[in-house]
């Protein structure tokens, strides 16, 4: 399950990189469909990660990964509801903070999924 969650987050991360590129090169928000797909994939990975933690023995790194992904998800929700929904440009600091939390969580998840924790 952790490996599947890792794949889901990796695909979501590709969308996140694309959206960050759009935001920083065009000074426009990325398209809503891309943001929704990114969120759907990340939420799927998050749900699977939480389920794995609750139902099976997992690496000790899985729980901090979950917590950091939840914080990143909160940042994503703020970007969607407080900025994108109101057609305001996403603040660069929030995009960077969201990405930083997600990258740290992803590294922890990779370590947990592939036997390093």
What average pLDDT does this structure show over 75-100? 94
Contacts of 108 (CB under 8 A, 6+ apart): 61, 62, 64, 65, 68, 117
- Scanning the structure block, which residue is given the tokens 């399950």? 1
Residue 84: its pLDDT value, please?
84
By 3-state DSSP, what share of the chain in percent is helix, strand and coil, each rounded to 5? Answer: 80, 0, 20
Are 82 and 33 spatial neighbours (Cβ–Cβ below 8 Å)? no
Are 60 and 117 spatial neighbours (Cβ–Cβ below 8 Å)? yes
Q: Would the pLDDT of 116 be above 80?
A: no
What band does 32 get if pLDDT is binned at 50, 70 and 90?
Answer: very high
Q: Where are the domains of the chain?
A: 2-113
């Amino acid at each position: 399950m952790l490996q599947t969650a890792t794949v889901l987050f990796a695909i979501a991360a590709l969308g996140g990189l694309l959206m960050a590129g759009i935001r920083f090169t065009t000074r426009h928000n990325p398209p809503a469909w891309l943001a929704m797909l990114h969120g759907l994939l990340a939420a799927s990975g998050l749900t699977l990660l939480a389920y794995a933690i609750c139902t099976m023995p997992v690496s000790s790194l899985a729980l901090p990964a979950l917590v950091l992904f939840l914080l990143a998800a909160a940042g994503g929700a703020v970007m969607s509801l407080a900025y994108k929904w109101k057609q305001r440009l996403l603040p660069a600091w929030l995009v960077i903070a969201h990405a930083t939390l997600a990258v740290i969580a992803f590294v922890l998840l990779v370590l947990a999924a592939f036997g390093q924790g």
